[in-house]
């Protein structure tokens, strides 16, 4: 089994609820959702964070963003609005060192709250 959790999910050795699956990109539901829609979008190939992905393969980053929007469409939140977040580094709370876009929607996400 790959040591990286999201590589293992991409390889189907760890289960996940898949929302969308293309040749190079996978979207699956977050195990601890913070909003009615909370889906993670990853490149199947391992890159540690969004800056590393941008530097290594801008086309693949483009696919991740495009598929994040397709997730929002499929979840029915693209019209009302949604958030795409790439936590990067410890102070941002990046817990899994395999780049992932959080797609959040289905509730008010204004920030700061209020
Ligand atoms: P980060 O904090 O690195 O930006 O986000 C990691 C996300 O991965 C968290 O929102 C967490 O809930 C989610 N997560 C952690 N382990 C698993 C898992 O085994 N399966 C799924 N589907 N999500 C996970
Ligand atoms: Zn990985």
- 38, 98, 100, 102: the active-site residue: 100
**CA 38 to centroid of ligand 1, rounded, Å:** 10
Distance CA(45)–CA(36), nearest Å, equals 28
pLDDT tens profile 60-99: 999 999 999 999 999 999 999 999 999 999 999 999 999 9
Ligand nearest to the CA of 96: 1
> Is 100 assigned a catalytic role?
yes
Which residues have a Cβ under 8 Å from the Cβ of 65 and sit 6 or more positions away?
84, 101
Q: Is there an atom of ligand 1 within 6 Å of 16 CB? A: yes
- pTM of the predicted model as reported, rounded to 2 decimal places: 0.97
The DSSP letter of residue 20 is E
CB of 87 sitting under 6 A from ligand 1: yes
The residue whose C-alpha atom lies closest to atom 18 belonging to ligand 1 is 31
């Amino acid at each position: 089994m790959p040591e990286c959790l999201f590589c293992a999910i991409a390889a189907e050795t760890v289960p996940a609820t898949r929302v969308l699956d293309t040749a190079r990109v996978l979207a699956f539901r977050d195990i601890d959702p913070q909003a009615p829609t909370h889906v993670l979008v990853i490149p199947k190939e391992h890159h540690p964070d969004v800056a590393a992905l941008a530097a290594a393969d801008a086309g693949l980053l483009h696919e991740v963003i495009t598929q994040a929007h397709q997730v929002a469409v499929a979840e029915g939140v693209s019209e009302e609005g949604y958030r795409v977040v790439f936590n990067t580094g410890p102070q941002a709370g990046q817990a899994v060192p395999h780049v992932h876009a959080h797609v959040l929607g289905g509730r008010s996400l204004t920030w700061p709250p209020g």
